[in-house]
Amino acid sequence: IMAGLTQHGACEEIFARRLRWASDLASGAGICLCVEPLNKRDFPGYLVPDTTTALRILEKVGRPDSCRLQLDLYHLQVSEGDLSENIRRLLPHTAHVQLANPPGRNEPGLGEVHFSPLLKLLDRLGYEGHVGCEYRPSTTTEQSLAWAAP
């Protein structure tokens, strides 16, 4: 769920109330909503700029089975860094993981993050959800997927 941009610090309470309502509907259909923090550098004014804000909103929603965190490792690295420790801290609140490599939001292998140890950490911590790739390919789509070859 995208929180949207705000010029005047729109109320987290309103967003949390709307999420609670939507989570109750989603729960009945077996769907889990995900709140995604987006870093301030790429999205100035976004209501949920970091995981501290996201966790505070999720606490207000109070629906841990139907409203959780979408952990985008690109945004996490840009806004907070320390990916290994943050993954350990945030995984209990996470329903979905995304990856892209900063600074250019490109595929793994082209940037500052080495994803192999992080993916192994997710396995060791027992993460059973999906890992999505949302990046800007630096080349053709097929070539940009070479990093995932066994």
| 134 included as an active-site residue | yes
Cα dihedral 59, 60, 63, 68 sign: negative
Select which of 13, 36, 85, 128 is catalytic.
36
Cα–Cα distance for residue pair 140/144, rounded to 1 Å = 6
Select which of 13, 107, 134, 142 is catalytic.
134
Other beta carbons within 10 Å of 40? 14
39 alpha-carbon distance from chain centroid: 10
Q: Which amino acid is at 16?
A: A
- Hey, is 94 helix, strand or coil? strand
Q: Provide the greatest CA pair distance for the chain.
A: 48
φ/ψ of residue 67, rounded to 5: -150, 110
Show which residues are catalytic.
36, 134
